[in-house]
Structure 1
Amino acid sequence: MWILLALALLTLSFNKKIAVGLLLAATVWAGWLGVIELWAAGIIILLAAISMTGFTLPQRPAIQRTLECLLVVLAVALTLHLMPGFHNPKVLDLVKAGPQSAPFTLYFNVDKALTPFVLLICTRTLFVREIPTHRPLWQWLVLLLSVPALLLLAVLLGGLKIEPHWPQWLLPFALANLFFVSLAEEALFRGYLQQRLAGLMHPVVALVIQALIFGSVHVAGGMLLVIFASLAGVIYGLAWMWSGRLWVAVLFHFALNICHLLLFTYPMYVRQ
């Protein structure tokens, strides 16, 4: 079922019909497994039907804004696990990546994975948009190096410690993090929020605002995590802004998370 859902998300950017078909197959399987209730299945079927009909928001501004706001509220609710009817299974329960790492719990999130399907209805340029100029290679190299640099900064600030490990649960972590976390968050914060803000203000201002909002979502982890996530939001936002491709931002997001897991205490350092 999870492979079907991941394939649906993978194909969503270039073949919506195949993506919807895979999503419906995953929905049937999820219902049989008890992962979703009838209410949640209804939401998924409605999203699939809207996607298949090629629905676009009405041209009348008032109706367009209202429907778009409702869709964004739905996307946020799905991302924050506020919608009823979803029973995301716990895959890992308080495991430790290493002796200095905090206990870690992993869920496979059906609800959060639906976010790109919702936001693609709001904007057809969610995955791909035109960019005015292409950045030179050296700027991309600097951006790539900023990923390990940010993690090393967290070490200097005391939030992480260098602690290489290769956990047995790397594959399920990678699957969940790429498709059910990184893609969903990039669709919401970069593909939708930053893109919409950039249409209203200077792109750099839009970049900063979305990064601050992204950081504030992590407030439960403490102020250091808020700062860390905000800086990460700048990296992901630049990757999206420079490339015009959502999947580029997703891969930067995924790369940082994998580097974090494999080379540092994950998700944070626990003082002995």
Structure 2
Amino acid sequence: MWGVLSASLFFLPFNRLLAWIILAASVGIGIYHRILTPLGLGWLAIIAIAIWLHQQYRAQRAVALTLEIFLVACSVALFYHLIPGFNNPLMVVQEKAGPLSAPYSLYYNFDKALVPFLLLACLPTLFNAGRADKKVGARAWLILALCVPAVLLLAVALGGLKIELHMPPWILAFMMANLFFVSLAEEALFRGYLQQRLRPWLGAYPALLLTALLFGAAHFAGGLLMIIFATLAGGIYGLAWMWSGRLWVPVIFHFGFNLTHLLFFTYPLYQHP
């Protein structure tokens, strides 16, 4: 079912009807495999009704705003697994990518994967803001790409990571989950929605900075160093969105950052002997 769910997210920017049909199929499979309980299905029904009402009353600003706030609140709740009724399976259980790496567990999060659907209903320009900065040349993009290993090497210098090459047997499971259920969901919330909504109010760079700080704060469970590195990474993803105007660009940067971390550094953290 996870391939079906990934396919729905893949088609979401290009063909919304097809994406919703595929999502409905993944929901059905999720019910069959008991990943979705009746309680979770009830919540999905409430969210679906809210999305429908938002589309019907988009012209009435007060009603549309109220429904958008509700849908964004549901997105945050799904992001943090606060809505009950989802039995997200554990795919990797406390395995070490390498001898210096801390134990790592990987969940396939059905609830978090739904976030882009809700936010696209709130903001039709979620995937394509149409504000590409044509003044940014290839050199600037190359420097931005080089910032990815630079942040990871900074983490090594500060003692949070060590260089350690990996090719764990669960790498394919990691790649699919990280691309669709982590990177896309997080970038849809922080860059596609928050940064895009804040930009007209605050300006381009203040919106980028505030969104990066919020992205860092969202990683509070990993400790202070994780907050700092996530904030720096959020700045990279924010620039990628601001320069391109397209959500898939920071998603690829985010996925590339996480994959580089896994392949070449202790993952998720360095565990002291």
TM-score normalised by structure 2 residue count: 0.96
Cα pair 1:4 1:22 within 8 Å, conserved: yes
Q: 1:201 matched to which residue of 2? A: 202
1:45-124 counterparts in 2 under 5 A? 45=45, 55=55, 58-124=58-124
Taking the aligned partners of 2:92 and 2:233, their CA distance within structure 1 comes to 25
| Unpaired stretches in structure 1, ≥5 consecutive residues | none
Q: 1:263 matched to which residue of 2? A: 264
Change beyond 3 A, Cα 1:166–1:10: same
Taking the aligned partners of 2:222 and 2:132, their CA distance within structure 1 comes to 38
Pairwise CA distance, 1:38: 1.7
Taking the aligned partners of 2:64 and 2:51, their CA distance within structure 1 comes to 17
**2:208 is equivalent to residue 212 of structure 1:** no
Pairwise CA distance, 1:40: 1.9
Pairwise CA distance, 1:46: 5.6
Taking the aligned partners of 1:46 and 1:33, their CA distance within structure 2 comes to 22
Q: Deviations over 1:218-257 (max 9, x none)?
A: 1111111100000000000111111011011100000000
Cα pair 2:212 2:232 within 8 Å, conserved: yes
SS of aligned partner of 1:258: helix
Cα pair 1:56 1:121 within 8 Å, conserved: no
Q: Which amino acid aligns with 1:158?
A: G
Pairwise CA distance, 1:59: 2.8
Taking the aligned partners of 1:50 and 1:15, their CA distance within structure 2 comes to 21
Taking the aligned partners of 1:189 and 1:84, their CA distance within structure 2 comes to 23
Identity across aligned pairs (percent)? Answer: 51
Change beyond 3 A, Cα 1:13–1:126: same
SS of aligned partner of 2:69: helix
Q: Which amino acid aligns with 2:60?
A: R
Q: Which amino acid aligns with 2:236?
A: I
Q: 1:21 matched to which residue of 2? A: 21
Cα pair 2:115 2:185 within 8 Å, conserved: yes
Taking the aligned partners of 2:52 and 2:20, their CA distance within structure 1 comes to 7
Q: 1:161 matched to which residue of 2? A: 162
Taking the aligned partners of 1:211 and 1:57, their CA distance within structure 2 comes to 32
Pairwise CA distance, 1:42: 3.6
Taking the aligned partners of 1:132 and 1:18, their CA distance within structure 2 comes to 27
Cα pair 2:50 2:67 within 8 Å, conserved: no
Pairwise CA distance, 1:165: 1.1
Taking the aligned partners of 1:174 and 1:47, their CA distance within structure 2 comes to 28
Q: Deviations over 1:179-229 (max 9, x none)?
A: 000000000000000000002111100000000000011111111110000
SS of aligned partner of 1:91: strand
Q: Which amino acid aligns with 1:28?
A: G
Q: 2:30 matched to which residue of 1? A: 30
TM-score normalised by structure 1 residue count: 0.96
| Unpaired stretches in structure 2, ≥5 consecutive residues | none
Change beyond 3 A, Cα 1:226–1:64: same
Pairwise CA distance, 1:56: 5.7
Pairwise CA distance, 1:266: 0.1
SS of aligned partner of 2:92: strand
SS of aligned partner of 1:94: strand
Pairwise CA distance, 1:43: 3.8
Change beyond 3 A, Cα 1:206–1:169: same
Q: Deviations over 1:21-40 (max 9, x none)?
A: 11011111110001011232
4+ runs of 1 displaced by more than 4 Å?
Answer: 45-54
